[in-house]
Structure 1
Amino acid sequence: MKIKRNVSSSRRKNRKKHFNASSSERRIRMTCPLSTELREKYNVRRLPVIAEDEVKVLRGKFKKSEGKVLSVYRKKYSITIENVQKTKKNGEQVQIPVHPNKCLITKLKLTKSRERILARKNKLRGKKTKTTKEQKIDSKMTEVD
């Protein structure tokens, strides 16, 4: 049963929306999960990829390869990474595009706008995560004692 009436579950409509999405919508869809260290530091799970972020490929032929993001190509929903390339028959090196969902951000390029985004998201997450499981257990233990 459908829960949200204003969200379409039609494959045809979703594909149309995906391929006709604006650049700002594509930016939001092209997010990468952050590494555990960055996740703990910034209290954010995913961020849109930008050029000069350091990324690790998690799935596919180039699994475990790491490098800087050279370009973000929103029209094709792909990014090119420094060490992800193949050699053509004439010896020329060609970059292989990778979808951002298959990557993990290991090092962020911090810009002013990105710092504002991180601060805003951290502020929102801070409100939601005031009571953790550990705090609940501790409070129950003090009641028992």
Structure 2
Amino acid sequence: MKFNPFVTSDRSKNRKRHFNAPSHIRRKIMSSPLSKELRQKYNVRSMPIRKDDEVQVVRGHYKGQQIGKVVQVYRKNKVVITRLKLDKDCKKILERKAKSRQVGKEKGKYKEETIEKMQE
């Protein structure tokens, strides 16, 4: 069920917005989650898919069968990134995202005292 009235669930409208979006916005739209191993290693949840990354299909007929190399990126769909093509730009993005996640964890929603009280 859709809760936000300003977001459409119409397939044709979503496709139109995707293909007509400028490249800096499309890059964010084209982000896919990282595998559990990469998530632990880099402390990053998702990255934009790029050519020469390796992905695994997680839904549909080809789910979980094999890991494939990305030849062309036109629409990310139901995949998990298993290996990144690391270059200086990708490393810079990973460092930036990991740093911001670390700041969020340090901030925290609860203080240590409140956590101890909740556990008692």
> Shared topology, TM-score over 0.5?
yes
Taking every aligned residue pair, what percent have the same amino acid on both sides?
41
Aligned length: 114
TM-score, structure 2 as length reference = 0.73
Structure 2 Cα separation of the partners of residues 73 and 65 of structure 1? 20
Shift in Å at residue 13 of structure 1? 6.4
Gaps of 5+ in 2: none
Moved more, 17-26 or 29-38: 17-26
Structure 2 Cα separation of the partners of residues 57 and 13 of structure 1? 25
SS at match of 1:118: helix
Match of 2:105 among 129, 136, 139: 129
| Contact 1:54 1:69 (8 Å CA) reproduced | yes
Q: Which has the larger radius of gyration?
A: 1
Shift in Å at residue 16 of structure 1? 4.2
| Contact 2:59 2:78 (8 Å CA) reproduced | yes
Deviation string 1:38-86 (CA, Å, 9 cap, x unpaired) is 1111111110111221211000111113233232333xx2xxxxxxxxx
TM-score, structure 1 as length reference = 0.62
| Contact 2:54 2:70 (8 Å CA) reproduced | no
More strand as a share of residues: 1
Structure 2 Cα separation of the partners of residues 107 and 14 of structure 1? 28
Amino acid across the alignment from 2:17: K
| Contact 1:31 1:101 (8 Å CA) reproduced | no
Amino acid across the alignment from 2:42: Y
Amino acid across the alignment from 2:84: L
* Structure 1 residues 67 and 13: CA distance shift in structure 2, 3 A: closer
Amino acid across the alignment from 2:26: R
